Structures are given as structure tokens and as C-alpha cells.
């Protein structure tokens, strides 16, 4: 069957994938070409005739290669980007080959069962209520959306309204968040019809001002949703969940937590102080494609009241199978049709076990602390945030020099870190999120910053 077109196309893809993965740790992280450079390699006109599938894969891989960024490199620290564990990547290939539309459990028993098992394992691992509803979303933004839609409908119903009648038929739903709320939660709130959040203050690390939250809640009335944050993208800081959830619940509000990367601290005994009380929230959103290191795209929407989630998100129609009192995968996300994206999550949890996940998250946070310590020892470099988790924000006395350092690093290619502004200053952000980042990578990263600072002439 060597001329089976699937075998030839998949064999070609396998070869290209292995060549990519084998060069990943040592290739310059930056792409050699920009978008226009890659476009120049592609025929702008739709071909009139077709091509052999394996040749298509060769053409694709050859044209793409110079425009690929080594995002899976152990020294990629930009944005918040995980790599992919071997079992998760391979499971993802199988998910494509199986091509199971895992919206409804009845026609796709295997992928539904693996997802349900992964969901149970995740709630156990994260110490969240075992009977919560858990949906496999495309990322934290769609997970935030699924949770906020469930929240919106639940608080409207509690207020005596009918969510199906639309927002104009109920009292306005208030949406509150801290001043450092992530743009993803803002977008999700807008998509859910809640508008951008009314922001209460936050402290210098981005933690919500709980007294401000109390005042804001007391100053208004009606149904309310409060969005808290586990893991600020600049500082890595966590809100004071115990205090903020007390205040929000006293006011009758639903508490949602955006924990895109920070929720994983729940798994680590050493980091429990960061997340104390978080399990008392009403919903939680996180990513698996960041800290858990599964391939894109995979996020988790978790709602304590599983029935509220199904009521808000579950489809019903004569042609759709009824799971008979059990929730379907599509009852917990905003998509109906979707790939079995929970299967790679099962695979990585099986590869690592509980102890492996605890070690992974603990190691990411320890590497961030080591980076911060190494950076701080460089003349003229300072660390702006309290490094409590995986994020490090570096600055120099001169914003232009800090920006130049970020550019120098990305251009030199050993490491890739994002430039941003925080606390009114230019910063270079390092987010340690890749499972493969080793002690040697930490050393090489500190060395690269050293060399960059010297090249730019940064001194105190």
C-alpha cells in the first residue's frame, strides 16, 4: 500500500515534522522571512489543476520553513506560549486521522470517553469541585466566553429573569474586574453582551483592590459577575481570592477566574499560597496549550454548577442525539462541531502523571526565579515585578535602551522575549512556559541578556 495517497502524504508530513523538531532547540528562534517574504514564495493565483497530495506537503513545508518561528524552542519566552509534549503532539495527529466530531458523545464514544476521563483528572489535579462542568474550548478566550455566558444566564435567572428573552428583557448585568484585567476577559465580556468591565483598582503587581471591589459592588445593584485573575501577564501575580470571593459572594455576584496560565499553580503544593480560596469561585478558565504544553488549540472552561453551563450552552434539536440526562461535550463550549481536542490532554496527563505535572509547573516557576536572579546581577538591569510564578519583567533606567535590548535579543536569535510597557516603563517580558526549558537554557538566556546589555552599552 506504499502508493496509498494517505500513507504518502502522512509519511511526507512525518519527515518534515521530524526535521523541524530536530532543529528546534538550536535553530535561531526568529523566522528568516516576514509575511511578505513567504507570500513571495507562494503562487498568488489559484492553480487551475491539482497536484499529488504528497507533493503538496513537500511544497508546503519547503515554502513555509524560512517563515517559521521556533515557538517550541526551550528559549522562547514571548507572550505566554507552551511547547508540546511528545504524547500530546502524537495524540493530536491521531485526532486528525480519526476525525471524530466530538460535539455529541453518542456517535463518538471513544473520544468522548477520553475527554471525560481527562476532565475528571484535571479537576482532581487542580483541586476544583469534582462535579463541575468542564468543556474543551479552543483557548482561554473562548473558555472565558463560555464561562461568562453561563454566569450571565445564571445571574439573570437568579434575579427572576429569563435569559432566553435577551439582555434587554432583564435588569442590566454588572460586570466588574480589577484594573489589570487581561484583554481576553474584556473581549469575552463584550462578546457575552456584558460590555467591557467596570474596573476597580489594582495594586502595583496587578492584584485586584478588594476594598475597591466592595465599594463598587455596594454602589450599584442588580445581577453581577466579577472576573478575577490567576496570573497577571506582566507580574504573574494572583488576586487575593479568599478576600475577593468573600466580598463578591456577600454581594450575590458570580465569581469567574481567568487563570489562563496561573490556574496550574493549583496543582503544586509549594504554590498553594498563591491560589488559596480559588476553589470557592463559580467558574474558571484556563489554557492547556500554555502551561500544560499540548499543541494548539486547547483551553478549558470549568463551571461549578454544571447544570447552569448546560442550560446556557447546550443545543437541542430533533436531529441531534440526546445523551439522556448526561452532558454532551457541546453543552460546555461555544462550538457545536469540533475536534476531539481533549484527547491530547488525556495523553499528556498519562505521560506525566500527577507528579509529572506538579514537577512541570514547579520547574517553570523555579526557572523564572533563576532568570530573575541572573538578570538582576547584570549591571544596569533591574527586575520590576515580584517573581511569584512564571513571569519576569526586566527593565533598564532608559526606556529606549530597554526597547533596544528586546530587539537585540530577538534579532540575535538565542532567545525570544516580548517587549511591552508596564508600570509606565518599557520592559522585556520573559514568560517561562515551555516544558523543555532546562537549567542550561536558563544559563544561556542570562548569558544572552548579558551580551545584549554589553552590546547596547547598558550600565547603571
Ligand X SMILES: *Cc1c(COP(=O)(O)O)cnc(C)c1O
Least distance CB 144 / ligand X (angstroms): 7
- SS3 of 328-378: the string is CHHHCCCCCCCCCCCHHHHHHHHHHHHHHHHHHHHHHHHHHHHHHHHHHCC
Least distance CB 293 / ligand X (angstroms): 13
Kindly tell me the sign of the dihedral angle through the C-alpha atoms of 412, 414, 420, 425.
negative
8 A C-beta contact, residue 232 and residue 393: no
Least distance CB 78 / ligand X (angstroms): 12
Task: Give the residue with the Cβ less far from ligand X, 139 or 406.
Answer: 139
Residues that bind ligand X (CB under 6 A): 80, 139-141, 182, 184, 231, 233, 258, 260-261, 287, 299
Distances in Å between the Cα of 183 and the Cα atoms of 40, 78, 180 are 34, 17, 9
Rounded to an integer, what distance in angstroms lies between the CA atom of residue 439 and that of residue 86? 20
Task: Give the residue with the Cβ less far from ligand X, 81 or 309.
Answer: 81
Task: Give the residue with the Cβ less far from ligand X, 238 or 408.
Answer: 238
Task: Give the residue with the Cβ less far from ligand X, 108 or 418.
Answer: 418
Cell of 98: 480519526
Least distance CB 284 / ligand X (angstroms): 12
**Residue whose C-alpha is closest to residue 257's, from 120, 151, 158:** 151
- SS3 of 29-47: the string is CCCCCCHHHHHCCCCCCCC
Strand 224-229 relative to strand 418-422: parallel, antiparallel, unpaired? unpaired
Least distance CB 419 / ligand X (angstroms): 17
Task: Give the residue with the Cβ less far from ligand X, 433 or 445.
Answer: 433
Least distance CB 77 / ligand X (angstroms): 13
- The residue whose Cβ lies closest to ligand X is 139
Task: Give the residue with the Cβ less far from ligand X, 170 or 184.
Answer: 184
**Residue whose C-alpha is closest to residue 386's, from 178, 203, 185:** 203
Rounded to an integer, what distance in angstroms lies between the CA atom of residue 79 and that of residue 234? 10
Least distance CB 421 / ligand X (angstroms): 17
Least distance CB 358 / ligand X (angstroms): 21
Task: Give the residue with the Cβ less far from ligand X, 285 or 381.
Answer: 285
Task: Give the residue with the Cβ less far from ligand X, 265 or 401.
Answer: 265
Distances in Å between the Cα of 110 and the Cα atoms of 98, 107, 295, 343, 357 are 10, 9, 20, 10, 24
Cell of 88: 500530546
Q: Bridge-partner residues for 200, per DSSP?
A: 178
Amino acid at each position: 500500500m506504499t502508493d496509498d495517497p494517505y500513507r504518502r502524504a502522512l509519511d511526507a508530513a512525518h519527515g518534515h515534522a521530524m526535521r523541524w523538531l530536530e532543529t528546534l532547540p538550536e535553530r535561531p528562534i526568529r523566522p528568516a522571512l516576514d509575511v511578505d517574504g513567504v507570500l513571495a514564495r507562494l503562487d498568488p493565483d489559484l492553480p487551475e489543476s491539482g497536484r499529488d497530495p504528497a507533493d503538496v506537503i513537500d511544497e508546503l513545508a519547503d515554502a513555509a520553513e524560512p517563515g517559521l518561528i521556533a515557538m517550541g524552542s526551550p528559549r522562547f519566552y514571548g507572550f505566554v506560549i507552551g511547547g508540546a509534549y511528545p504524547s500530546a503532539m502524537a495524540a493530536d495527529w491521531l485526532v486528525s486521522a480519526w476525525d471524530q466530531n466530538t460535539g455529541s458523545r453518542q456517535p463518538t464514544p471513544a473520544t468522548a470517553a477520553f475527554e471525560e476521563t481527562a476532565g475528571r483528572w484535571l479537576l482532581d489535579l487542580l483541586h476544583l469541585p469534582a462535579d463541575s462542568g468542564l468543556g474543551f474550548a479552543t483557548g482561554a478566550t473562548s473558555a472565558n466566553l463560555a464561562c461568562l455566558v453561563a454566569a450571565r444566564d445564571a445571574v439573570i435567572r437568579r434575579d427572576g429573569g429569563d435569559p432566553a428573552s435577551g439582555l434587554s428583557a432583564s435588569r442590566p448585568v454588572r460586570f466588574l474586574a480589577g484594573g489589570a484585567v487581561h484583554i481576553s476577559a474584556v473581549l469575552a465580556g463584550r462578546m457575552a453582551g456584558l460590555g467591557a468591565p467596570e474596573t476597580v483598582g489594582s495594586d502595583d503587581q496587578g492584584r485586584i483592590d478588594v476594598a475597591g471591589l466592595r465599594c463598587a459592588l455596594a454602589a450599584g445593584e442588580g445581577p453581577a459577575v466579577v472576573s478575577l485573575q490567576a496570573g497577571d501577564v506582566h507580574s504573574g501575580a494572583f488576586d487575593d481570592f479568599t478576600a475577593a470571593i468573600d466580598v463578591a459572594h456577600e454581594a450575590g455576584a458570580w465569581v469567574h477566574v481567568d487563570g489562563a496560565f496561573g490556574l496550574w499553580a493549583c496543582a503544586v503544593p509549594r504554590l498553594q499560597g498563591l491560589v488559596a480560596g480559588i476553589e470557592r469561585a463559580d467558574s474558571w478558565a484556563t489554557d492547556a496549550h500554555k502551561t500544560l504544553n499540548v499543541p494548539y488549540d486547547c483551553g478549558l472552561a470549568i463551571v461549578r454548577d454544571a447544570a447552569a453551563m448546560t442550560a446556557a450552552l447546550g443545543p437541542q434539536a430533533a436531529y441531534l442525539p440526546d445523551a439522556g440526562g448526561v452532558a454532551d461535550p457541546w453543552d460546555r463550549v461555544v462550538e457545536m462541531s469540533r475536534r476531539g481536542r481533549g484527547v491530547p490532554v488525556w495523553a499528556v496527563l498519562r505521560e506525566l502523571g500527577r507528579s509529572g505535572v506538579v514537577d512541570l509547573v514547579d520547574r517553570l516557576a523555579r526557572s523564572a526565579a533563576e532568570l530573575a536572579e541572573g538578570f538582576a546581577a547584570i549591571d544596569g538591569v533591574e527586575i520590576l515585578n515580584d517573581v511569584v510564578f512564571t513571569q519576569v519583567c526586566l527593565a533598564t533606567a532608559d526606556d529606549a535602551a530597554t526597547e533596544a535590548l528586546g530587539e537585540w535579543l530577538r534579532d540575535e536569535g538565542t532567545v525570544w522575549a516580548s517587549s511591552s510597557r508596564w508600570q509606565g516603563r518599557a520592559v522585556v517580558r520573559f514568560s517561562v512556559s515551555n516544558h523543555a526549558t532546562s537549567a542550561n537554557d536558563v544559563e544561556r538566556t542570562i548569558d544572552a541578556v548579558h551580551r545584549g546589555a554589553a552590546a547596547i552599552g547598558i550600565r547603571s
